Amino acid sequence: MSSLVKSKNVDMCNGSLFKSLIRFAVPLMLSGVLQLFFNAADVVVVGKFAGDESLAAVGATTTLINLLTNVFIGLSVGANVLVANYYGARQERDVHETVHTSMTISLFSGILLTVVGFVAAPFLLSLMQTPADVIDLSVIYLRTYFMGMPAVMIYNFGSAILRAAGDTKRALYILLSSGVVNVAFNLIFVIAFHWGVFGVGLATIISQYISAAFIVLCLVKEKSLIRLEIKKLRIYKKKLIRILQIGIPAGFQGMMFSLSNVVIQSSINGFGKVIVAASAASVSVEGFAFTSMNAFHQSAVSFTSQNIGARKFDRISKILFISLFYVVLVGAFFAFLFLCFGKTLIGFYTTSPEVISEGVKRLSIIAGSYFICGLMDVTSGSLRGMGYSFTPMIVSLLGVCVLRVVWVATIFQMDRFHTVETIYYSYPVTWVVTFTAHFVTFIVAKYKIKKKWNI
């Protein structure tokens, strides 16, 4: 491996985990924060220059977009785990076959999502009880957004492959470039051309195709085992099966998370456009905490997978606990930020006093406990890196999805608790339950690995 490749990639199997994890996670964190800044720019431009109806229209589509895309993005987790495992074991042929299978899957899944999203948009938004005064705008935004799905999938699979090899910096540079383009086109399309939600969606998909083009270029020019050769794109059956075995449970878990959030969003929609707009603004703000902590989830997946491949089992528990430590630090920082500056942060999205007040209400409830969501995700990531994908899916399905639906169907239906605050409290309750179950599952999984390898 050339010195250039070494300088780009973090060595996950040797040296200090404290240093390696933070070196790997910081570019991921910055990438996620940058992406959210650019997504927030969409919401801010819409809220400031197209009105609260347009803001609510964009906000009402978020959970639906996640619902439709999470299964396929879950497959990229399968690609990440498999490439990292083979990369750690230095199995060149297996890495080659997994990379080319993964990128082929990304293209076909993106095309499929475009068709489904475009055709089903009106029906699905109606099913979610999207307010009548914003549903037409929501359909326009959703259909426009889904035209960029091939690019979204190519970028997600490509960046997962880079992460598996220890490279998180180039995805950061790509997002920075495409994000600047996104903001520029937002301003042009919405302010100058008055295209509203269509302009925001169009600016987004242009930036997504730029990201996809750059990520493919990185893989084509790669000098290490993960090099992509366009002419050799194909599906390798054994690798496809293994990616599906890991990725489908991860994707199904993400889909069920989104489905439970659709139930939550549907309940929120019933309170009218002010609450919907406020929740959309708060979710966008909360996303900065989530994506920062999620960097350690992704780190746990890649580090654990490579060390399993390299048969360095003594590092697995260290990876988990160091990742949990970093998540608590990040969560504490954002809790302080949200509680002290919530009104200012929500004020970036709207000038409406009612929307700001309701947005701060949601933010104040969720802020202090958000680190628990990070603990839950990191532990789930460690399990996936160990090759256990079905178990965390079941735990998350019961602990988050089913419990949230039960919460809405029982506690929320009581007259005394039929408030939007009751809906917001469902988040920390389900995070605590699910993290506890994931942690117990990790202990059992680690024991099984020790027994299997006679450690």
- Where in the chain are the domains? 13-449
Query: Lowest mean pLDDT: which of 4-8, 164-168, 389-393, 404-408?
Result: 4-8
How far is it, in rounded angstroms, from Cα 352 to Cα 48?
10
Q: Compute CA distances 116 → 76, 121, 261, 448, whole Å.
A: 19, 8, 20, 41
pLDDT score recorded for residue 4: 37
Residue 161, class by beta-carbon neighbours within 10 Å (0-12 exposed, 13-18 middle, 19+ buried)? buried
Choose the most confident range, by mean pLDDT, from 123-127, 152-156, 179-183.
Answer: 152-156
Query: Lowest mean pLDDT: which of 97-111, 171-185, 252-266, 347-361?
Result: 252-266
98 contacts 86 by C-beta, under 8 angstroms: yes
Q: Is 454 left (phi over 0), alpha (psi -120 to 50) or beta?
A: left
Confidence of residue 6 (pLDDT cuts 50, 70, 90): very low
pLDDT score recorded for residue 338: 92
Q: Nearest Cα to 11, choosing from 82, 99, 87, 76? A: 87
316 contacts 386 by C-beta, under 8 angstroms: yes
Confidence of residue 8 (pLDDT cuts 50, 70, 90): low
Residues 6+ positions from 268 with CB-CB distance below 8 Å: 275, 276, 279, 420, 423
Q: Compute CA distances 53 → 38, 133, 182, 346, whole Å.
A: 20, 7, 22, 16
The predicted model gives 114-128 an average pLDDT of: 90
How far is it, in rounded angstroms, from Cα 308 to Cα 316?
8
Residue 308, class by beta-carbon neighbours within 10 Å (0-12 exposed, 13-18 middle, 19+ buried)? buried
Return the higher-pLDDT residue of 453 and 250.
250
Residues 6+ positions from 221 with CB-CB distance below 8 Å: none
Q: Compute CA distances 157 → 83, 349, 353, 375, whole Å.
A: 11, 31, 41, 24
Q: What's the whole-number average pLDDT of the chain?
A: 89
The predicted model gives 209-238 an average pLDDT of: 95
Query: Lowest mean pLDDT: which of 30-39, 305-314, 358-367?
Result: 30-39
Give the side-chain half-sphere CA count within 13 A for 202. Answer: 15
pLDDT score recorded for residue 3: 39
The predicted model gives 276-280 an average pLDDT of: 86
Question: What are the helix (H) ranges across 310-399?
Answer: 316-347, 353-366, 370-385, 390-396
Cα-flanking dihedrals φ and ψ of residue 200, to 5°? Answer: -65, -45
Q: Is the pLDDT of residue 7 over 80?
A: no
For the full predicted model, state whether its pTM sits above 0.85. Answer: no
